[in-house]
């Protein structure tokens, strides 16, 4: 500061510092004022346009053929995003208003209000954009070379739902939002059930079942029995069996089987994975078990390792649980053959790797659990058993064999249910009815264009 004729005046350096701090707005030059005015105007424009860019997805945007997302899926996503988008657009107007006020009088307080609103609203718009981006990527895969393959998986999943809900014999309609598949990197397929919070949705509940598939599984169609397993998890949840099943298992094991409570707790903890295996075996036939053996057939240290609090059964035991059901399905010879092959791969399973209370009474425990899941009636099944709901026997096996011949010859098997096509592909490969690539091509051509 300097004193001239008794008046305190700011030096040029002090004036510059005041401007930087947002003080002394009257010191702006016309050029500075114009630049600030332009910048303030653009802040509101940018955010309003950014919020408006989070638009609804349009019918036909991701194709119009059989591979495109259904209208029901698009509508559900649009309604979901609208809840956040409208709020973001409204908040973007707050920035526009703050910008207009700051342009009239660009003092420090009003500029700070604009900056704070801009930051807050920008984060909100990015939040909604993240949800929009997830669904855009999900639906855009239907425009890629994955479209036909993912449509084929959708058809299989839909067929599982349709056949199960039709067999209920009640007024309970099939859910309108059926499982939706998409490709992603990774080793194993997985599913996210309806209503489960998702990180990619900012932990909002998932709208419809999602089935994620590694590309290598899509290349090996005979390995897609995992789709039946993942679909089955969603059937369990949608039918309302998550809570009742572990209670039933525990009760029967303790009272009828006279098993120790600790042992019954282990089997009850395994209920979700065992039941998904049971569903898959009935929905797709023995190819489901052969595909499971592909997945869990690893070195003994991994396959026979018992993990006390795991939700998956010990892999070695998991295969043997499935052979229990196969015998009751009338496939005893094949079940015995598969079991002998499996035990030859793992000949030295002892109580050093699997606790004695699990291993030594495994057979009666597995039989009781399979009976509880598959051969006991439940209100959720329309007071039927799972075996009655999804019958599998000689006639279903004959359809799979016929479909395998059609796949080998490149012919459409017609009315054979899509869920049998995975087992048919496995059988066609086992019998060398065509090359692996021809089986794959025929599989997708038949299912993807139905």
DSSP 178: -
Do 404 and 358 lie in one domain? The reply is no
Give dist(CA 155, CA 176) in Å, integer. Answer: 14
Do 363 and 399 lie in one domain? The reply is no
Go through 351-383 and write b for each residue having 16 or more CB atoms within 10 A of its CB, e for each that does not: eebbeeebbebbeebbbbbbbbbbeeebebbbe
Do 370 and 428 lie in one domain? The reply is no
Please say if the pLDDT value at position 305 is more than 80.
Answer: yes
For 116-144, the DSSP string reads: HHHHHHHHHHHHHHHHHHHHHHHHHGGGS
Do 278 and 303 lie in one domain? The reply is yes
Give dist(CA 370, CA 364) in Å, integer. Answer: 10
| 115, 143, 171 - which closes a domain | 143
Mean pLDDT of 352-370: 97
Tally of domains in the chain: 3
Identify which has the larger pLDDT, 336 or 53. 336
Residue pair 24/18 in contact by the 8 Å Cβ criterion: yes
Extract the tokens encoding 236. Answer: 């369990």
Identify which has the larger pLDDT, 141 or 1. 141
For 380-434, the DSSP string reads: GGTSB-HHHHS--SHHHHHHHHHHHHHHHHT---TTS-GGGHHHHHHHHHHTTSS
Residue from 223, 217, 218, 228 nearest 160 by CA: 228
Give dist(CA 406, CA 229) in Å, integer. Answer: 25
Mean pLDDT of 45-71: 90
167, part of any domain = no
The pLDDT tens digits of the residues spanning 389-442 come to 999 999 999 999 999 999 999 999 999 999 999 999 999 999 999 999 999 999
Helix (H, G, I), strand (E, B) or coil at 300: helix
| Cβ-proximal residues to 327 (8 Å cutoff; 6+ apart), any chain | 335, 336
Instruction: Let me know if 422 is exposed, middle or buried by CB neighbors in 10 A (0-12, 13-18, 19+).
Output: buried
> Rounded mean pLDDT of the chain?
91
CA 396 to each of CA 32, 98, 184, 399, 412: distance values in angstroms, whole numbers, following the listed order: 81, 69, 32, 5, 17
The per-residue pLDDT for 172 is 80
Please say if the pLDDT value at position 56 is more than 70.
Answer: yes
| 126, 143, 160 - which closes a domain | 143
The pLDDT tens digits of the residues spanning 141-185 come to 999 989 999 999 999 999 999 999 999 988 688 898 999 999 988
Do 332 and 429 lie in one domain? The reply is no
Give the pLDDT band (50/70/90) at residue 3. very low
| 122, 143, 164 - which closes a domain | 143
Mean pLDDT of 32-49: 88
Mean pLDDT of 307-327: 97
Q: Tell how strand 197-198 and strand 204-205 pair up.
A: antiparallel
Please say if the pLDDT value at position 192 is more than 70.
Answer: yes
Identify which has the larger pLDDT, 261 or 26. 261
| Cβ-proximal residues to 249 (8 Å cutoff; 6+ apart), any chain | 264, 267, 268, 271, 369, 372, 373
CA 253 to each of CA 321, 325, 338, 358: distance values in angstroms, whole numbers, following the listed order: 15, 18, 27, 12
Do 267 and 331 lie in one domain? The reply is yes
The pLDDT tens digits of the residues spanning 215-235 come to 888 999 999 999 999 999 999
203, part of any domain = no
35, part of any domain = yes
The per-residue pLDDT for 81 is 94
Residue 125 structural domain: 21-143
165, part of any domain = no
Please say if the pLDDT value at position 6 is more than 80.
Answer: no
Do 325 and 383 lie in one domain? The reply is yes
DSSP 206: P
Residue pair 179/157 in contact by the 8 Å Cβ criterion: yes
Please say if the pLDDT value at position 7 is more than 60.
Answer: no
Please say if the pLDDT value at position 15 is more than 60.
Answer: no
229, part of any domain = no
Do 307 and 435 lie in one domain? The reply is no
49, part of any domain = yes
Do 329 and 309 lie in one domain? The reply is yes
Do 324 and 402 lie in one domain? The reply is no
The per-residue pLDDT for 20 is 43
Do 304 and 369 lie in one domain? The reply is yes
Please say if the pLDDT value at position 16 is more than 80.
Answer: no
Give the pLDDT band (50/70/90) at residue 450. low
262, part of any domain = yes
Mean pLDDT of 19-41: 72
Please say if the pLDDT value at position 13 is more than 60.
Answer: no
The per-residue pLDDT for 171 is 67
Bridge partners, residue 2, by sequence:
9
92, part of any domain = yes
| Among 123-127, 133-137, 316-320, 325-329, the least confident range | 123-127
Whole-model pTM: value is 0.86
Torsion, Cα 127 128 130 132, to 10 degrees, reads 180
Do 364 and 246 lie in one domain? The reply is yes
């Amino acid at each position: 500061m300097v004193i001239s004729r008794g008046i305190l005046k700011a030096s040029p350096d002090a004036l510059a510092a005041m401007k930087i701090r947002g003080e002394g707005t009257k010191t702006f030059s016309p050029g500075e004022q114009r630049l600030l005015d332009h910048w303030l105007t653009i802040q509101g424009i940018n955010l309003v346009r950014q919020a408006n860019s989070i638009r609804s997805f349009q019918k036909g945007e991701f194709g119009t053929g059989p591979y495109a997302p259904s209208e029901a899926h698009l509508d559900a996503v649009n309604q979901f995003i609208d809840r956040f988008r409208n709020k973001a657009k409204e908040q973007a107007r707050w920035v526009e208003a703050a910008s207009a006020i700051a342009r009239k009088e660009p003092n420090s307080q009003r500029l700070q209000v604009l900056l704070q609103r801009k930051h807050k609203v920008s984060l909100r718009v990015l939040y909604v954009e993240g949800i929009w981006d997830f669904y855009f990527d999900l639906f855009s895969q239907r425009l890629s070379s994955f479209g036909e393959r993912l449509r084929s998986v959708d058809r299989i999943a839909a067929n599982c739902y349709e056949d199960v809900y039709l067999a209920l014999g009640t007024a309970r309609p099939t859910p309108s939002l059926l499982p939706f598949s998409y490709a992603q990197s990774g080793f194993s397929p997985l599913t996210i059930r309806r209503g489960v919070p998702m990180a990619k949705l900012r932990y909002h509940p998932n709208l419809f079942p999602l089935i994620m598939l590694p590309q290598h599984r899509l290349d090996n169609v005979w390995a897609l029995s995992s789709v039946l397993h993942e679909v089955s998890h969603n059937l369990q949840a949608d039918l309302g069996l998550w809570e009742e099943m572990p209670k039933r298992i525990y009760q029967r094991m303790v009272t009828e089987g006279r098993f120790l409570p600790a042992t019954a707790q282990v089997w009850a903890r395994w209920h979700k994975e065992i039941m998904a295996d049971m569903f898959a075996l009935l929905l797709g036939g023995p190819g489901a078990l052969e595909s499971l053996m592909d997945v869990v057939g690893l070195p003994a240290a991994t396959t026979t390792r018992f993990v006390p609090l795991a939700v998956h059964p010990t892999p070695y035991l998991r295969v043997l649980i499935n052979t229990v059901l196969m015998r009751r399905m009338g496939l005893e010879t094949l079940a015995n053959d598969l079991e002998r092959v499996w035990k030859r791969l793992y000949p030295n399973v002892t109580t050093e790797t699997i606790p004695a209370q699990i291993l030594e009474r495994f057979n009666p425990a597995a039989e009781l659990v399979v009976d509880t899941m598959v051969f006991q009636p439940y209100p959720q099944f329309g007071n039927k058993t799972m075996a009655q709901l999804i019958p599998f026997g000689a006639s279903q096996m004959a359809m799979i064999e016929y479909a395998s011949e059609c796949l080998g010859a490149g012919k459409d098997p017609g009315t054979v249910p899509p869920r049998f096509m995975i087992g048919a592909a496995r059988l066609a490969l086992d019998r060398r009815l065509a090359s692996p690539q021809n089986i794959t091509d025929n599989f997708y051509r038949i299912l993807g264009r139905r």
